[in-house]
Amino acid sequence: MHVLLELLKKEVVPAEGCTEPIAVAYAVSLAAEQLEGEITSIQLWLSGNIIKNAMGVGIPGTGQTGLPIAATLGAVVKRSDKKLEILSGLSQEQVQQANVMIDHKLLEVQLKDTSEKLYIEARVHSRGQTATAILAKSHTNLVFLSKDGKTLYPENGAAGYEADESSKAVEDRGSVDEIYEFIRTVPFEDIRFLLDGVRMNKAISDEGLAGSYGLQVGKRMSQQSTVNIFGNDLASGIIAATAAASDARMDGSPMPVMTTAGSGNQGIACTLPVIALAKRLGKDEELLARALALSNLITMHIKDYIGRLSPLCGSGIAGGTGANSGIIYLLGGSLDQIKHGIQNTIASLSGMICDGAKSTCALKIATATNAAMQAATLAMNDISPTSNDGVIFDEVEDTIRNMERLVKEGMGATDATILNIMLSKGGMMGGGEL
């Protein structure tokens, strides 16, 4: 199997709810499944990025936000085999059980002193028993599992932080040139599965447009009234459809989303503009699948450099740039024009920070979608910034690599500052302690 096809199959997967709190629920469930009897306490040690992205987001099927309800539900449902869909189909009884655990103050959350951006350590206690599960580097990458001091995983007994297979393949994800060649030549049947994401992400977009989720960014942009200055043009419709999906997801809709590189919002940002444009242009399923393969792979390529979790907004920067590439491909653009589009989009969005997962993600995705279409329009007219312009270099791969420098060299304290600002407001843990 071609490495890029393998990556698509591993990195484009369904999830229900924001992936950071869902990953916490998954870790707690892994530990709780090892125990017998009633759970007496849950201790979490989490990296700052996990806390930042889990504090203000709605948890599907609960009407609640934050880490506490996600973590305690992991102990209640005990179905780690569902991974990122672990909280699907919750019953009210399960939600009530989880809230009882919160009310009885069985949950303790602490910030882990670690350089690892994605780190979740869950230690769960019952009477006379203790189990620990550790995830690192990616949302479902189990690196350690133990019960009563006996290591269950890995079998050699040593906890480690080896990346899972998708992370190990980072160096093989190729350049923009290689991605473009792949999406043009891969047999359609091999990438037809991407159309499952079309149905899934379109459904939650429609839900967001019809309902009253979050800030209602997409819904209000789509409505024609005297207070909507966006009009009823193609661009406004695409922005509204994309933002609406994030509105619904961030406000706790129980509908699944097809994720990209560990994030549902990235999946929304890089696919829905392409899906909406393809429908308006009457493009067939094969062209749409190839455009989606391009948008997803470009998103992953950029994420390789800015990080799985980052002080930069992955949905805006990586997802928006991926969408831009898919849009240009649908418009019949060349490889050079796709590169122009990447340069244009990064020039526009490179400073967008991530201040956690919450309702305003829909605003950032709307901004990124607008930037992607603006950048595509310039690219189709062969317009692109040059090395005279900010962080842009003449070669597109050098520009993408600059995103890594921006994160590592320029934004070392940004995550900590954002988290401190968020925590200073109080009550952000949704009832838990930090």
CATH number listed for the domain at residues 16-166: 3.30.1330
Parse the chain into domains and list their residue ranges.
Answer: 16-166, 173-412
- Which residues, including other chains, have CB under 8 Å from residue 82's CB and lie 6 or more apart? 88
pLDDT in the model for residue 412: 84
Per-residue pLDDT of the chain (434 residues; tens, 9 = 90+): 899 999 999 999 999 989 999 999 999 999 999 999 999 999 999 999 999 999 889 999 999 998 999 999 999 999 999 999 999 999 999 999 999 999 999 999 999 999 999 999 999 999 999 999 999 999 999 999 999 999 999 976 655 544 433 334 344 568 999 999 999 999 999 999 999 999 999 999 999 999 999 999 999 999 876 566 777 789 999 999 999 999 999 999 999 999 999 999 999 999 999 999 999 999 999 999 999 999 999 999 999 999 999 999 999 999 999 999 999 999 999 999 999 999 999 999 999 999 999 999 999 999 999 999 999 999 999 999 999 999 999 999 999 999 999 999 999 899 989 999 988 886 545 444 45
Integer CA distances (angstroms), 404 to 365, 394, 407, in order: 21, 17, 5
Q: Phi/psi of residue 398, each to 5°?
A: -70, -40
Q: What is the reported pTM? A: 0.91
Q: Are 151 and 142 in contact (CB under 8 A)?
A: no
> Rounded to the nearest 5 degrees, what angle is found at the Cα of 296, between the Cα atoms of 242 and 176?
130
Q: Are 247 and 257 in contact (CB under 8 A)?
A: no
pLDDT in the model for residue 150: 96
CATH superfamily of the 173-412 domain? 2-methylcitrate dehydratase PrpD (1.10.4100.10)
Q: Which two tokens stand for residue 83?
A: 């991974």
DSSP 359-383: TTHHHHHHHHHHHHHHHHHHHHTT-
Q: CB pairs under 8 A, 24+ apart, for 413-418?
A: 414/311, 414/353, 415/48, 415/49, 415/52, 415/310, 415/311, 416/48, 418/52, 418/311, 418/353, 418/354, 418/355, 418/356
pLDDT in the model for residue 426: 65
Distance CA 64, CA 58 (A): 6
Two domains, one topology: 16-166 and 173-412: no
pLDDT in the model for residue 165: 38
**Count of C-beta atoms within a 10 Å radius of residue 102:** 18
Q: Are 271 and 327 in contact (CB under 8 A)?
A: no
